[in-house]
Structure 1
Amino acid sequence: MLPLERDRTVTDMLPAATPSLSELMVTLSRGYVRNVPGSLLKGPIAARYLNPHLRDHPRRRAVEARFDARFAVDTRDLIQRYIHLFGVWEPHMTQWLRGRLKTGDVLVDVGANVGYFTVLGSRLVGSAGKVVAIEASPAFHRRVLQHIELNGCGNVRAVNSAVADSHKTLTFVLASSNNMGANSIVPYDGPAESSFDMEAVPLPELLKPDELARARVIKIDVEGAEGGVIRGLAPVLGKLRQDVEIAVEVTPERMAKLGDSPEELLATMREHGFHTYRLPSEYRPESYPPAIRRPTPPVRWRGPIVGESELLFSRIDAEVLA
């Protein structure tokens, strides 16, 4: 009797990506992952084939997102690679914003990166609304401007500035071009690919009075500097519209290196009447197909913040922020 072969997962059955993987196969596989209904095999194909191939054999081109927008991507970078591969970045956050922003609203996008959420917000708030896209990196600020022009976003004001709790000069370091959005002021001991200095200003000083008063969503993704951004925003939290909601990517380890803590941030938000919710923050490529198909709404969070977390703060008191 022949010995039984051990059970193999789908991932085991797929060969690893190699430089010889044809561009035709990449194009066909990407088309399947992006466009065919359902999620059968999409996770393993994306994780085993497409993600490593697009990272190591970068494509630079304009691609369609899953909403009415186009982005010029360089697939060396994680965010741009996922936009190219899946047509979406952070599907849970994308879906939540789609349900939150309405015509005439204002979105404040702090840490706009290449402008994915800026352009999404522009589409959602319409010509009667506005988006303020704030990005510290001069290179990414130029990309935001590029995508504003590419998508005809006449309702966006782009600002090249850092945000903090006071006026100061900050030094940003980029460790790797594989995640170009990870420019951070957090102390870094390893080799750096690049660095730049930028003046920082409290968020209320960067916004016009009308923008501050009409802000429906303030989204903050600043790679560890979120404590300073919230401290700078705290004096005006009570003056914002009652239904304002604030999304903050919280990174405890990075915050600690700057002398900050998630507990202080959460306490500030509680003092101003906000309840804490949490969205899934999963960046493995195999997690994207099911997340795109069935995005998860924010759920009430009462525990400690021990790892990187996508938090939402709302004055709505519920178990699910639907």
Structure 2
Amino acid sequence: MPPASRPSTLARLGEVLRPRRRLVPLAQLGGPPGPAQAAVRAMAQAVPMGGDTLLVRSLGRHKMLVDSRDFTHAPHLAMDGFWEWWTTRFLAEQLRPGQTVIDGGACYGYFSLLAGELVGPSGKVIAIEPNPRSAALLRRNLALNGMEGRAKLEDVALAGPNSGRVMRLALPEGSPMNAHLLPEDLAGTSGPQLASRGPDVALVSTRPLDRYASERPDFVKLDLCGAEEAAYAGMQAMIEANPAIKLLLCFNPQRCASPAGFLEQLAGRFPLRRLVEDGTAQPCNATETLQGGDVMLYLAR
């Protein structure tokens, strides 16, 4: 190498002494929101990868591929490095090594990756995502973060106890996290012939959660954009076999066929609690929960 192009001693020394960014500790994610959020934001990055894909850093720890056409979930990961801090903190404080977690409606795998780290090599994560594009990115994200040994992807949609047939999944433009089974398909009133309406609808296989009862999950998170009622009905054998199970379930009365009846059904098995902004679970009642909007219910005996 010519002398002019050879790195100087000072340059080499500067490279050695340059501060390295360390991963945000898992324990910090379960602490007070302010410092943890600041640490995660400081490490947020987004790099275009081509083909409508961005590479982002989430939670100051995980490398994630997301869809650059997504105007709902992906921008938060790209700019802030986190999503739904109240849920993030709650999971960071609840999950333990060796546990089994089901993440229903996993999208790109933000919560699946967090759960995979928290349960460790002796634990297991089952990430369930029916949106074909999101599922493809999720599969790559599990591999990218070394989770293949403890996490697996199921590219199906969760539905009721008698599910197993193909249903139509609506794919809202710019909002893959809001992909949802069509209500008439969930209700079984769509008729025997299912016709896709073009690129905004995908035909997907469906499955009840009871198919995973043998896994004896410790924790199940369900964010299914209107299929929560059906999915809950399809996990009764799982709950009976594992009374200590804990659930996080996204409830929105506008997306329920019978919101008051569904809440009554949930309250018949579990105390009603909801996650609040600081990431803690607080008691709630049916009246306030039915007022509208998404509520993340925590259901555990």
The answer, yes or no, to whether TM exceeds 0.5 is yes
SS of residue in 1 equivalent to 2:234: helix
Task: Assess, with a 3 A threshold, how the Cα gap between structure 1 residues 220 and 38 changes in structure 2: closer, same or farther.
Answer: closer
Q: Which stretches in structure 1 are left out of the alignment for 5+ residues?
A: 1-35, 41-57, 281-290, 316-322
Task: Give RMSD over aligned pairs.
Answer: 2.7
1:234 aligned residue: 236
Q: 2:156 aligns with which of 161, 180, 186?
A: 161
SS of residue in 1 equivalent to 2:180: coil
Equivalent residue letter for 2:172: A
1:216 aligned residue: 218
Superposed displacement of residue 254, structure 1: 2.0
Matches within 5 A, 1:121-200: 121-153=115-147, 154-165=149-160, 166-167=162-163, 168-177=165-174, 179-186=175-182, 194-200=200-206
SS of residue in 2 equivalent to 1:76: coil
Task: Assess, with a 3 A threshold, how the Cα gap between structure 1 residues 239 and 176 changes in structure 2: closer, same or farther.
Answer: same
Q: For the Cα contact (< 8 Å) 1:219–1:247, is it kept in 2?
A: yes
Deviation string, structure 1 residues 20-54 (Cα, Å, up to 9, x no partner): xxxxxxxxxxxxxxxx96999xxxxxxxxxxxxxx
Superposed displacement of residue 313, structure 1: 0.6
Q: Distance in 1 between matches of 2:275 and 2:35?
A: 24
2:291 aligned residue: 306
2:27 aligned residue: none
Matches within 5 A, 1:50-65: 60-65=53-58
Q: For the Cα contact (< 8 Å) 2:260–2:286, is it kept in 1?
A: no
Task: Assess, with a 3 A threshold, how the Cα gap between structure 1 residues 266 and 149 changes in structure 2: closer, same or farther.
Answer: same
Q: Distance in 2 between matches of 1:176 and 1:309?
A: 24
Q: For the Cα contact (< 8 Å) 1:67–1:120, is it kept in 2?
A: no
1:277 aligned residue: 273
Q: 2:261 aligns with which of 254, 264, 268?
A: 264
Task: Assess, with a 3 A threshold, how the Cα gap between structure 1 residues 234 and 37 changes in structure 2: closer, same or farther.
Answer: closer
Q: For the Cα contact (< 8 Å) 1:75–1:84, is it kept in 2?
A: no
SS of residue in 2 equivalent to 1:275: coil
Task: Assess, with a 3 A threshold, how the Cα gap between structure 1 residues 156 and 37 changes in structure 2: closer, same or farther.
Answer: closer
The TM-score, its normalising length taken from structure 1, stands at 0.68
Matches within 5 A, 1:10-25: none
Superposed displacement of residue 266, structure 1: 2.4
Q: Does 1:202 align with 2:202?
A: no
1:23 aligned residue: none
1:55 aligned residue: none
Deviation string, structure 1 residues 160-186 (Cα, Å, up to 9, x no partner): 111111223211112322x11111124
Deviation string, structure 1 residues 77-126 (Cα, Å, up to 9, x no partner): 21111111111111000000000100001110011111111111001000
The TM-score, its normalising length taken from structure 2, stands at 0.72
Q: For the Cα contact (< 8 Å) 1:174–1:192, is it kept in 2?
A: no
Task: Assess, with a 3 A threshold, how the Cα gap between structure 1 residues 79 and 135 changes in structure 2: closer, same or farther.
Answer: same
Task: Assess, with a 3 A threshold, how the Cα gap between structure 1 residues 208 and 250 changes in structure 2: closer, same or farther.
Answer: closer
Q: Distance in 2 between matches of 1:158 and 1:83?
A: 21
- Percent pairwise identity: 24
Equivalent residue letter for 1:181: M
Q: Distance in 2 between matches of 1:199 and 1:116?
A: 23
